[in-house]
Amino acid sequence: MPSTCVHTLYQHHHGWLYHWLRSRLGNSADAADLAQDTFVRVLQKPQRPALMAPRAFLGTIARGLVIDHWRREELRRAYLQSLALLPPAQVPCPQTRELLLELLEQVARMLDGLKPRARLAFLLAQCDGLSHAQIAGQLQVSVRTVERYVADALYRCYLLRYEH
């Protein structure tokens, strides 16, 4: 699909996509952003297939972006709620808050790619400071399995850190 076809796709389906997103998000600004992001994703595809059902194609991309958007919003709400519990002197400045939120989003994306038990083992080790033996007892698996879970999670962290 050359860029002229993407242009035609945009002209013919942007309005439909925007309204579709707006009905799901209930917010015109977010709908406009995600509609644009959808077409950016189309442009970034190394091979663009010939489209028999362009709305289904765009809807699939947009659906993934909506899910990512909701996850980010949920993470942002939880983060802001936890900040509200801190004493005022310990609340980070707005710039630091945004950097921390970005880091949390990266960690959340990394954890989303893990199997549930590997995610739990990693969180128990990193956040709760449990030993591998304690985690093994809690998950009712071998210590070696916990080591593998944690190693997989750390490897994903490494890939995330050095992906660029």
Whether residue 114 lies inside any domain: the answer is no
Full residue range of the structural domain in which residue 58 is found: 1-89
In a structure prediction context, what are the per-residue pLDDT tens digits for the chain, which is 164 residues long? 556 688 888 999 999 999 999 999 999 999 999 999 999 998 888 776 667 888 999 999 999 999 989 988 998 898 889 889 999 899 999 999 999 888 888 888 778 778 889 999 998 998 889 999 999 999 999 999 999 999 999 888 888 778 75
pTM of the predicted protein model: 0.68
Whether residue 40 lies inside any domain: the answer is yes
Whether residue 66 lies inside any domain: the answer is yes
**pLDDT score of 121:** 94
Q: Are 142 and 114 in contact (CB under 8 A)?
A: no
Q: Which among 94, 160, 153 is positioned nearest to 127, based on CA atoms?
A: 153
Whether residue 127 lies inside any domain: the answer is no
Determine the length of the chain: 164
Instruction: Count the domains in the chain.
Output: 1
Q: Are 41 and 66 in contact (CB under 8 A)?
A: no
Q: Are 50 and 10 in contact (CB under 8 A)?
A: no
Q: Could you give the residue ranges of the DSSP H alpha helices within 26-163?
A: 28-44, 54-84, 94-112, 116-126, 132-139, 143-161
Whether residue 123 lies inside any domain: the answer is no
Q: Which amino acid is at 96?
A: T
Whether residue 151 lies inside any domain: the answer is no
**pLDDT score of 48:** 65
Q: Are 59 and 21 in contact (CB under 8 A)?
A: no
**pLDDT score of 108:** 82
Whether residue 164 lies inside any domain: the answer is no
Containing H/E element for 14? helix 3-25
